[in-house]
Chains A and B, each alone.
Chain A
């Protein structure tokens, strides 16, 4: 079945460091891919998405490119801030559109 594998955390970075959180997926057909962010004490919020191969999703300085050849959707940010401290979830929705799969989440802490 479809699945998402996400790099384990926790990740701790200094402010202005470069961030990469790896995400790979297994799916039949052409799923849509998402990154969600969960700030402490809150629900998940959509960060960015890509719906077909080679699409790049971007938002708030974060980017991720849908790579079908490597079945990956890695999250990157060039310069993290303390306010980026949160848990990040990679997710996919299946080709049939009725199954959502989340990764296990990666906790990020950015220190000043």
Chain B
């Protein structure tokens, strides 16, 4: 079974600064997808960024980028130029590329990000 670990329960960042959230995972599969989801106080889960394991290039989406280290099974999220609206719980998630796995997501425990003025 796959597991996802987020070792930082809480992180703080000053507005306009950069912060990195950590995620490690354990799997015996070679093909999979990794995601970062954001859950603001409204509880609506929003996809921030995704990474396909077969792609060596790190994914980027505007101010959000990842550092994907497949051998180390590490998948960190970097938020640049942090904004007040970035304050939320961030979840790292894994999805198998195995056909039988369907759309099942395995989530980490989350990192609560606070953005300070």
Q: Do A and B come from one complex?
A: no
